Amino acid sequence: MTPKVQSSHFLLGLAKGVSSAYLLVGAIVVVYLYLMQFVNHELSWIPYLVVFFTITKVFFFTFFTFKKLNKSIEECHSFAQLLWIFGSLVFLIIFSFAADYACLSFTNPNSFKEYSMAGDVGAFEKLFEYFYFSMVTFASVGYGDIVPTTVFSKVLVIIEIAQSFVLIVFGLSNVNNIHTLIKQH
């Protein structure tokens, strides 16, 4: 097999494997958009729903995605492809937590103390700030310019730190295995 055929075979197999993932993500996006547009954000049960969806998402990422990633490692013949998949997974996790933080902030503006946001900011700027916060939380323990202040926001941060730990340990522990498998093929 030529490298181009191997690459297209790998991408086709990956697309078939994640089609159910796209359906799940699509359903969550529809529910998220519905909640953001049509549900009163001051209802007391909304933060519970955000935490429930976050926990569901983390189990999905941890079990389904790692299972698919392990299968991809066995089928893949390029370290660059695996890095692209791993990087995409990290970006998706960081962005999804940013959306969780923004949703929680819209339901309760006191969920986070933001030293960097002055006054009333737009939804996209707030989402960017929470993307930054999620990136910093994922990569380290944060800088302290955005601080979770409620139980729900602290639970989300703890979940993201745990997800980061699991993903980094998984990724780093398999780097040697990936190189060995690729060299064998």
Token pair belonging to 74: 């066995």
Residue 16 pLDDT:
61
**Amino acid identity, position 110:** N
Closest CA to 32 of 132, 119, 85, 106: 106
In the chain the domains, ranked by start, together with CATH numbers, are 3-184 (1.10.287.70)
What average pLDDT does range 55-75 have in this prediction? 76
Residue 121 pLDDT:
76
Place of tokens 């490692």: 73
Tell me the whole-structure pTM to 2 decimals. Answer: 0.75
Buried b (16+ CB within 10 A) or exposed e, 86-115: beebbeebbebbbbbbbbbbbbbeebbebe
What average pLDDT does range 139-159 have in this prediction? 90
Work out the angle at residue 140's Cα, subtended by the Cα atoms of residues 137 and 142, and round it to the nearest 5 degrees: 55
pLDDT confidence tier of residue 97, bands split at 50, 70 and 90:
very high
